[in-house]
Chains A and B, each alone.
Chain A
Amino acid sequence: MRRAWKIYRLLAAQNLKRLMEYKADFLTGAISFLVDQAIGIAFIFIIFTQIPQLAGFTFEQIVFIYGFSQIPKGLDHLLADNLWCVGYFIVRKGDFDKYLTRPINPLFHVIAETFQVDAIGELVVGIGLIVYAAPNAGLHLSVWTILLSVIVIPFSALIYTSLKIMTSALAFWLKSSGFIIQMVYGMNEFSKYPTTIYSFPVRIFVTYIIPFAFTGYYPALYILTGNNPWFNIGGFLLSHFLSGTREYHHMKVPVHKIL
């Protein structure tokens, strides 16, 4: 464990060094995601110039949910971005061999290798929106809600990472699985808004099958209302452990059997 941490720090430091060399690229990346987010907010803003409430939520509350959903997304983006490359070309080009000739866990190695600072865009927007919306969103603040919602963030990020591990590992069978990652990942759009706006099957889908709703709406709802901690937080912990273990094996199987 300590060795893993040391290697991780070292690799992250390398990434930061690289960043210094390509400052302009870092800026374009971060600004791009910032603008992308800003446009999403402009969209909500324009809608709310016309209506006072959306599905029973005020502007601030919607912004709060939106902001909350961006933090786990940004965290996964920051730490596990290399999985995209696994799905798109590392396996196809045969570059995965490199990881298999090293005496550390290849999944850890591949994830540790990139530290994607572009994600600052999402994180800044997420935190900014929460700070902006919190005073007027009518939060249900207590030690518990704050504690649990902080705990929930890294686990929410793990939902993203797990789904990415699972879909990128499909490349071991399909050679390239970028499009599948793209499709599954794209469903995170659903996490930005209250699930109550969706029809029943969609709601079931984003809650139980591809549990993106647990990365944004449910935990945010818990802070907003203080209700149903077991479902909003606990349910998601369960889904995470289920998917987490499943994905890890998923990744392990092909490495040993297929390759």
Chain B
Amino acid sequence: MNKIRKRYVPFMKAGVQSLIIYRMNFLGFIIGGLIYCFVMFYLWRAVFDSNGGGMFLGFSMTDMVIYLFLSNTTSQLTFSSVSNDIGEEIKDGSIAMRLLKPVNTDLSYLFNELGGVLLKLVIFVIPMILGLEIYRYCVTGTIMFNAINFLLYVLSAILAYIISFRINLCFGFIAFYVKNLWGIGILKNSIIGFLSGSLIPLAFMPEVLRLCLEYMPFASMSYTPVMIYMGKYGAYEILFRLGIQVVWAVLLYGLSKLIWLGAIKKLCVQGG
């Protein structure tokens, strides 16, 4: 354990530092996300108004606000740029440098990002949750914060991050075949945005589609933690959902390993 700490903490520090250096870009993404949330907020408000107010498919407007902002926040938290990093490294050949270091490659990527994830949790997610709870208090007049749900949310968000990391790891290897990483990034983000329910709550989707999506790994990336936080799941269902997340984390771990091994072989064949 100590050995792991010593070896990988430098990666983590480097990750945090680069986040601080690029903090303006980081801020830009957060503000961009918030603008998007506001557009969606107004849109949903219009939808609720057009529906005659009250409930819409089991969501109140307050629920909707919490859902919108929290799912955006959660996707930002679990967002992994590892696909880009790997892609760039494959493109410019610097992946060879990473292979030369005496560390486990995916762990080094993971730690590179982990610092940033923790930072985001502290400076972005927690203030956001605080703000949302204040909003909820102002609207409903009661404090609805539930510490257990919050802790379960954090647990589920961590699993969500691991899944997101693994999926992105797999995506990154596409760089071996396609040069337009940027296009792929847009494609990936919009697909994940849709399938993970951060755009439209999966609960609103047609029954069959919803059932399919709920079992796919994408739902685990933001929908599950947010629904847990909002108290939409009972105790049994929470366990079940967390279980699905764990299963996906393990499966994707295996998949990314397989692709990685294949990729290394390809790297050797190409001569770096």
- A interface, CB within 8 angstroms of B: 22, 24-26, 28-33, 35-36, 39, 42-43, 46-47, 49-55, 118, 176, 178-180, 182-183, 186-187, 189-190, 192-194, 197-199, 202
Which single residue of chain B is at the shortest CB-CB distance from A194?
A: B46
| A residues less than 8 Å from B49 (CB atoms) | 55
Task: Tell me the interface secondary structure of chain B in the complex.
Answer: helix
| B residues less than 8 Å from A180 (CB atoms) | 28
CA of A179 to CA of B31 in the docked complex: distance in angstroms?
9
- Among A43, A190, A199, which residue has its beta carbon within 8 angstroms of that of B199? A43
CA of A194 to CA of B204 in the docked complex: distance in angstroms?
22
Minimum distance in angstroms from B43 CB to a CB of chain A: 6
Minimum distance in angstroms from A61 CB to a CB of chain B: 13
- Among B28, B177, B194, which residue has its beta carbon within 8 angstroms of that of A182? B28
User: Does B10 interact with chain A (Cβ within 8 Å)?
Assistant: no
Minimum distance in angstroms from A58 CB to a CB of chain B: 11
Determine whether the beta carbon of B25 is less than 8 Å from that of A178: yes
- Among A24, A25, A183, A187, which residue has its beta carbon within 8 angstroms of that of B28? A183
Chain A CB count within 10 A is highest, among B29, B49, B51, B190, for B190
Could you list 30 A-B pairs, sorted by A, with CB under 8 Å?
A22-B180, A24-B180, A25-B178, A26-B180, A28-B183, A28-B187, A29-B183, A31-B183, A32-B186, A33-B183, A35-B187, A36-B187, A39-B190, A42-B194, A43-B199, A47-B47, A50-B56, A54-B46, A54-B50, A179-B24, A180-B28, A183-B32, A189-B35, A189-B39, A190-B39, A192-B39, A193-B43, A193-B46, A197-B45, A197-B46
User: Does B176 interact with chain A (Cβ within 8 Å)?
Assistant: no
CA of A25 to CA of B27 in the docked complex: distance in angstroms?
30
User: Does B205 interact with chain A (Cβ within 8 Å)?
Assistant: yes
Which single residue of chain A is at the shortest CB-CB distance from B23?
A: A179
CA of A55 to CA of B27 in the docked complex: distance in angstroms?
33
| A residues less than 8 Å from B43 (CB atoms) | 47, 193, 197
| A residues less than 8 Å from B45 (CB atoms) | 197
Determine whether the beta carbon of A187 is less than 8 Å from that of B35: yes
| B residues less than 8 Å from A43 (CB atoms) | 199-200
| A residues less than 8 Å from B231 (CB atoms) | none
Knowing A54-B47, A183-B31, the reply to whether A202 touches B42 (Cβ < 8 A) is yes
